[in-house]
Chains A and B, each alone.
Chain A
Amino acid sequence: MRHLKKYLPLAVMALMVTAVQLLTSYTGTAYYLTQLTITAYYGLLITGLCLLMGYAGQLSLGHTGFFAIGGYVSAALTTHDLTACRNDFFITLLNHAHLLISRHDIYGEPLITVKAWPACLAAIAAALLIAFIIGIPVLKLKGHYLAMATMGFGIIIFRIVMASTYFGEADGISDVPAFTLLPGLTVSGDFSYRTQNYYIAWGLILTGMFLLINLIDSRPGRALRAIHGSPEAAEAVGINTARYKLLTFVISAAFAAVAGVFLTHFNGGIGPSEASIMKSVRYVAIIAIGGMASLWGALSMGVILNFLSLRGVFGSYDDAVFGAILVLVMLFAPNGILRLPIWRKLNFRHRDG
């Protein structure tokens, strides 16, 4: 059955995720789980961007912007003390809606902030709204004009977080509290939550892949692949190309924002480097090397390269490595390395997904 065949890679991935965790636990290398957790969150952003770039054919160099909006808004709302303005109408209203929480900061001072759940939802909503607003004009552009406009957006977000005291300027925001998803399930970088967080992150990306795999083989998924190949012929069969591009842009921004929120609560903070343009270049390079229109290619390359990068394998040449990857892929493997002829010679069967 084609439905089962479609989901088989997801089952394999779930098994691999479990196997890796068990392996690290038996070999006493559980410290790898922290980097693998971070890798999974970047992977979530990358798969969402892959839908936009690889399938719908719309290049975005601004997706760190959405990641940063998610992370920063959630971080700011859960850390900024509202004690001073607790009698303001709006704050009272939030309090009555049970959206605020009193706690103590690390120095024992009392603190009133927004709860993690509403902060997280507000952060994602902010990213979606901004994606919607900038997507409408920007997606009218094509090719390198679109790339430049989205890059401009990314730079604006970067400059805003660097300039704003609310977002901590060059220091970013630290002491972001843990985020309890459900009782017993907490997004936190705390040592005792490590295994749990590994499964939360990979569970999230499995969910994301499930949604995207369903999408690309569906009516709207085909429509956006058609837009990529021939926008005129797509319109001719009744596809509202502007609307589909916008919705895809917003969906991919949602993936980035969710990744930003979770990673920020996991790391306990966020800094401007997460909003830097070099990160966007990195994601684009990963999608290119994964074969553009290949979710599994993007995910596997994303996991491998981000994991190596987090392990410090590339040293201080980190950004240079990703820049070089982009150049080399464009020159020698424009269809991604999984589609190089060498794989066919080795009788490696590659299926898109």
Chain B
Amino acid sequence: MALLTIKDLNRSFGGIQAVSDVSFKVKRGTIKALIGPNGAGKTTMFNLICGNLPPTSGRISFKDQAIETLTAHRIARLGLARTFQNIKLYPGLSSLENVMLGRHSRSHTGFIAAMLNLPRARREEDDIEEKSYALLKMLNIAELADKEAVSLAFGQQRAVEMARALAAEPELLLLDEPAAGLNIYETAELAELITQIREIGITILLVEHDMSLVMRISDEIVVLNFGRKIAEGVPGTIQNNQEVIRIYLGGDD
């Protein structure tokens, strides 16, 4: 069964057709990669799925529910989390607080309970903090918990973003170029982490330029070029697809 279904999706910016008639599905429990040259429309696809941008036309359904008209926060609450290509952490907040915000959709304390510091608010706060700290530990950045997140090194910021996304216990996780700016060791750790995440039952849609990473961990790949889907399949067939080699991999191989 498909967790996410994209059907005939379009988005234009003025004259630019950033996403053009794209359709594909993401099966539950799989890792799907979305690849393509710069400007192919991958980030725009993510923004459309997450509700940060409304599509010009087309359908997006998540867990059999149409989401193309929902606002971003409602989609997030349905169980979809993301990381950003250009990292978006909250300035002025510690790494731990950034991760704690990831649990927003899984917690309930409102203004009144919070202002009065009611026992149930305190209990929930302790639970949020405990779970968030455990994620920082899992990502080996627990010692940075109290540091301001935006002051950290690039790789560490990526880790905080990942922890924030995982804190929501999402069903679908969208990762936009998670390996960008990482060295080979960090990239290897990332590959390990992504497979672990899949093993705990989280479905992943991944945008990534590091081809060896993509080929190694993905179950399926979709290739975009100038906003159009030009190929879709398992890594083996994509690697041998002539058009993909010409357009996208040509320079590398």
> Which residues on A are within 8 Å of B, measured CB to CB?
3, 211-212, 214-215, 218-223, 225-226, 228-230, 232-241, 247, 251, 293
A-facing residues in B108-155 (Cβ within 8 Å): 108-111, 114-117, 121-122, 124-125, 128
Contacts A218-B125, A219-B128 given; does A237 touch B105 at CB 8 Å? yes
A233-B104 Cα distance, complex, nearest whole Å: 12
Which residues of chain A come closer than 8 Å to B71, judged between CB atoms? 235, 240
Interface residues of B in 81-111 (CB under 8 A from A): 81-82, 84, 88-93, 97, 100-102, 104-105, 107-111
Distance of A226 Cα from B88 Cα, bound (Å)? 10
Tell yes or no: B26 within 8 A of A by CB.
no
Interchain Cβ contacts within 8 Å, total number: 104
8 contacts between A and B (CB under 8 A): A214-B114, A222-B93, A225-B93, A232-B84, A235-B76, A236-B81, A237-B101, A241-B73
Check B93 against A220 for contact (C-beta < 8 Å): no
Instruction: Tell whether, in the assembled complex, residue A220 and residue B110 are in contact, meaning their CB atoms are under 8 Å apart.
Output: yes
State which of B100, B115, B164 has its C-beta within 8 Å of the C-beta of A212.
B115
- Please give 19 more A-B residue pairs, beta carbons under 8 A apart, in addition to A220-B111, A233-B88: A211-B116, A214-B114, A219-B107, A220-B110, A220-B114, A229-B90, A229-B92, A232-B84, A232-B88, A233-B89, A237-B102, A237-B105, A238-B73, A238-B74, A238-B105, A239-B101, A239-B104, A240-B71, A240-B73
Segment 46-103 of B: residues with Cβ below 8 Å from A:
50-52, 71-74, 76-77, 81-82, 84, 88-93, 97, 100-102
Bound-state Cα–Cα, A286 to B61, Å: 49
Q: Which residues on B sit within 8 Å (CB–CB) of A222?
A: 93, 97, 100-101, 104
Whether A225 pairs with B90 at a CB distance below 8 angstroms is yes
For residue B168, CB closer than 8 A to chain A, the reply is yes
Where the two chains meet, the residues of B that have a C-beta atom closer than 8 Å to any C-beta of A are 50-52, 71-74, 76-77, 81-82, 84, 88-93, 97, 100-102, 104-105, 107-111, 114-117, 121-122, 124-125, 128, 164, 168
Hey, which chain B residues are within 8 Å of A218, CB to CB?
109, 114-115, 117, 121, 125
A219-B125 contact, Cβ under 8 Å, with A236-B72, A240-B73 = yes
Residue from A212, A219, A233, A235 within 8 A of B90 (CB atoms): A233
Q: Given contacts A235-B71, A237-B81, is CB(A230)–CB(B88) below 8 Å?
A: yes
Contacts A219-B128, A229-B90, A230-B88; is A237 near B52 (CB within 8 Å)? no
Docked-complex contact B52 and A232, CB < 8 angstroms: yes
A238 contacts B168, C-beta separation under 8 Å: yes
B117 touches A229 (CB 8 A): no
A293–B92 Cα distance when bound, in Å, is: 9
A174: min CB distance to chain B, Å: 35
Interchain residue pairs A-B with the least CB separation, the first 6: A238-B105, A218-B114, A235-B72, A238-B76, A229-B90, A233-B88
Instruction: Tell me the complex Cα distance, A215–B112, Å.
Output: 9
Q: Is the pair A235, B73 in contact by a Cβ cutoff of 8 Å?
A: yes
Are B90 and A226 in contact (CB-based, < 8 A)? yes
Residues of B within 8 A of A239 (CB): 73, 101, 104
Known contacts A236-B81, A237-B81: A219-B104 contact under CB 8 Å: yes
B52 neighbours in A (Cβ, 8 Å): 232, 235-236
Cα of A235 to Cα of B81 in the assembled complex, Å: 10
Q: Is the CB of B92 within 8 A of A230?
A: no
Which residues of the other chain, B, contact A234 by a CB distance below 8 angstroms?
Answer: 90, 101
